[in-house]
Amino acid sequence: MPVNLNPVKPEQLAAIAGVELSVAEAGIKKADRKDVLVIRLDKGNTVAGVFTQNRFCAAPVQISKTHLDAGVQIRALVINTGNANAGTGEDGRQRALAVCQALATELDCAVEQILPFSTGVILEPLPADKIIAALPKRRSADWAEAAEAIMTTDTAPKATSRTLDIDGHKVSITGISKGAGMIHPNMATMLGFVATDAAITRPMINQLVKEVADLTFNCISIDGDTSTNDSFMLISTGKSGAPLIDSPSQPAYAQLKAALLDVATELAQAIVRDGEGATKFITVKVEGGRSVAECKAVAYAIAKSPLVKTAFFASDPNLGRLLCAVGYAGVNDLDVDRMALYLDDVLVACNGGRNPEYKEEDGQRVMQQSEIGVRVELNRGQANATVWTCDFSYDYVRINADYRS
């Protein structure tokens, strides 16, 4: 079961003017389940995205990047689950383009105005014919159903909304995400889609999507594997009536960014809370580094360590494993005598070794919690970073051993 993940309530998800959602059942991997989502956009929108840095990036990632770079107005996004269309070469690209062309023909637009996304099994040919056949049969959906339609090993849909006031106009934001395994983003998330009716210029939305991703989806790790299909998209329809955001110096830019960060943080944390087999949600904070990159390197060394993650699962305060991870994080001139390690409010290590006042029962108490905080003080600068992760359980092995069966 997910770790303290609030269930999605459809009535709490705001509809976004200028966005039309529809879902279909194509039978890509399993019959009688929603596995195709279409997000249709009115004219006048702006769209931006960030994508996986995995060199084996999937065919739909390659095509979406090309279509965005063309500078044309995007009219729809088409997402399928059950098949990643990754490691499929030119044949995979042609299959993804065939799906784009089918939807473009229906919407009377150019193929470059369609963005494709896929998630599922890698190295399998995309059943484009099934998706194309399902497109005319899709039905209208709300955001909750859209979140369900992009799930793979997720045990629960992930969606949230926020509203804010910009110059007297109500602005709405709604987002969905999916992911539970192969989670160690180097751009964004597994799949994430956030839409707002705010009006944003193309340069500003391109800047926003990167800033939001770096502080949210780029701060999670479940198993240390960067997916071939990671994509995070930000959509602006401009239908709220609020003034156009065309400069980062506008107060509205800061307002909108704060709300987007709130949405994206919840969606990113939801992925970790629903990590495959997860029983603990862990926040790793590294403070006092010389750079954010240095702090993130230390945080990820802890978050990715199988030894650390299995200790959390066992509720075993074998905390030398955390020190070990800090030591190999790549901060070659780290003075370990100045470092301090906390487990929630419990000082575990300082001055190069175990805190003389640390008691095993204090560590045990924290390790038994479902939500745990790890704090590392490097005491060598002013930079900070936070990463969210989870434990490794028996179920993680079982889920991934049985993934294709």
Query: Which string of DSSP letters, residue by residue, matches 159-199?
Result: EEEEEEEETTEEEEEEEEEE-SSS---SSS-SEEEEEE-S-
How do beta strands 371-377 and 281-289 pair?
A: parallel
How many helices (H) does the chain have, and how many strands (E)? 11, 17
* 165, 206 Cβ separation under 8 angstroms: no
- What kind and span of H or E run contains 207? helix 202-215
Which residue out of 46, 152, 189, 196 is catalytically annotated? 189
CA distance 262 to 258: 6
- Which tokens sit at 26? 């194509």
**Pick from 315, 323, 320, 322: nearest CA to 391:** 315
CA distance 200 to 207: 11
Dihedral (CA of 145, 149, 155, 160) sign: negative
- What kind and span of H or E run contains 89? helix 89-107
| Cβ density class 175-196: b for 16+ within 10 Å, e for less | bbbbbbbbbbbebbbbbbbbbb
DSSP label at residue 16:
-
189 catalytic? Reply is yes
**Pick from 388, 83, 80, 148: nearest CA to 264:** 388
CA distance 150 to 192: 10
- Which tokens sit at 47? 């769209």
CA distance 190 to 342: 30
The amino acid at residue 124 is: E
CA distance 405 to 26: 19
Partnered with residue 281 across adjacent β-strands are 371, 390
Catalytic residue numbers, as ranges = 189
